Copies of this chain bind each other. A is one copy, B any other.
Amino acid sequence: MADCIRSENDFLSLLDSYFNLTTPHQLSLRGDDCAELLMPEEVCLSSDLFLEDIHFRTSYFSYYELGYKALAVNLSDLAAAGARPLGFNMNLILPASMPRSDVEQLLEGMSALASRYNLPLTGGDLSRGDKLGLCISIWGEMGGARFLRRGQCRPGDTLFIVADSLPFPLGLARAGLYSLEKWGREGALVRQPQACKRHLLPNPLIEAGLSIARLAPQTSLMDLSDGLARDLPRLLGYEYEHAPRYPDAAPVSAFGARIDLPEALLHPELLAWCRQYEEIGEPRLNPVAQAMLGGEDYLLLGSTDSPEVLPLIEADCGVYCQVIGKVEKNCGIVVNDRAFSQNGFDHFNC
């Protein structure tokens, strides 16, 4: 039988070999009821669940990738707020049979990303469970004069997407996910290496968020986790029914958007994936619709009334700001001159 985690204390010792304990924001050591933290006056805080067979499969993720991605999706929320990360808590559900070496790989992947931002692991909880699961809470401080929010758009604003690489990767993680589901890790990595990498090891755009907060603090910003089709209405301020509103907010569902997303802009692996579906006799996929629906790219979606700032942001942090359209006074989403109504991903849509 493989060597497993022997006790909670054994696990705490393991954490110390992967995560820095001494940062200026942390006053206490591991092992107490609470972490004692030095905080800036204004903090942004985010929590996310990352669960086996809901958010990932162990059949095609390495444990290194799982540890990395669990933290990456949380960092992406801070990026969307234009925040600088300061620390995180990790709650870990471990199957009893999980070999110690897999746990070590998971911590290795997480610490690789944590050390990029000198980010302390300040606490959390450990439990057995049938399936692997992580729940991370992360916080950060303002990168500019204020945190960035959704729902601050006005008609005429330029809509743009920030990407860390070209060709433009919108929808690419979806191609990776479907390829991994269909062909497994080895097959998918051969056919769609960049799409798989986008799904397995997404890059949180922290530096881009900080740059936008500093250079364009009036930008409305969010990260693309559930797909543009679902996230764009959120950026535009479409809220849930009866949602509380900011005093200066526009009326609910007031605005729409006109999007230009030419097929030629999309990533070759996304186009190839849509073709492959057809080649194996399945219904043809429309690449533009797939790009609209694709979640988990963790690009940033923004709206600004000063598009001249976009080249400055690109120069500041080496990202690509792709203009995709404009905010419109009339509600509804128009893509390539046609009304678009398909929804992105909702865990509870029925």
Which A residues have a C-beta under 8 Å from some C-beta of B?
4-13, 16, 21, 27-49, 51, 54-55, 77-78, 80-81, 83, 89, 91, 93-94, 96, 122-131, 133, 135, 137, 140, 147, 149-151, 222-223, 234, 239-246, 346-350
Say whether A34 contacts B78, CB under 8 Å: yes
Q: Which 6 A-B pairs have the closest CB atoms?
A: A9-B240, A34-B44, A135-B135, A39-B39, A137-B137, A33-B80
Closest beta carbon of chain B to A125's beta carbon, Å: 5
Residues of B with C-beta under 8 A to A129 = 51, 54
Say whether B127 contacts A7, CB under 8 Å: no
Closest residue of B by beta carbon distance from A209: B33
Name the one of B32, B48, B246 contacting A125, with C-beta atoms under 8 angstroms: B48
Say whether A150 contacts B12, CB under 8 Å: no
Say whether B39 contacts A35, CB under 8 Å: no
Q: How far does the alpha carbon of A31 sit from the alpha carbon of B246 in the complex, in Å?
A: 12
Say whether B29 contacts A46, CB under 8 Å: no
Say whether A43 contacts B39, CB under 8 Å: yes
Residues of B with C-beta under 8 A to A4 = 348, 350
Say whether B348 contacts A126, CB under 8 Å: yes
Residues of B with C-beta under 8 A to A30 = 243-244
Closest residue of B by beta carbon distance from A240: B9
Name the one of B36, B80, B347 contacting A44, with C-beta atoms under 8 angstroms: B36
Say whether A35 contacts B29, CB under 8 Å: no
Say whether A34 contacts B147, CB under 8 Å: yes
A21-B147 in contact given A48-B125, A127-B54 (Cβ < 8 Å): no
Say whether B43 contacts A37, CB under 8 Å: yes
Residues of B with C-beta under 8 A to A21 = 244
Closest beta carbon of chain B to A203's beta carbon, Å: 17
Residues of B with C-beta under 8 A to A46 = 33-35, 123
Say whether B239 contacts A31, CB under 8 Å: yes
Closest residue of B by beta carbon distance from A34: B44
Say whether A348 contacts B47, CB under 8 Å: no
Q: How far does the alpha carbon of A39 sit from the alpha carbon of B38 in the complex, in Å?
A: 10
Name the one of B137, B242, B245 contacting A29, with C-beta atoms under 8 angstroms: B245
Closest residue of B by beta carbon distance from A78: B34
Closest beta carbon of chain B to A90's beta carbon, Å: 8
Q: A16-B243, A29-B246 are in contact. List 14 more A-B contacts (CB 8 A).
A: A7-B346, A13-B243, A29-B243, A31-B240, A32-B151, A36-B42, A36-B44, A38-B41, A38-B42, A45-B137, A47-B125, A49-B135, A91-B135, A126-B347
A51-B93 in contact given A16-B243, A244-B21 (Cβ < 8 Å): yes
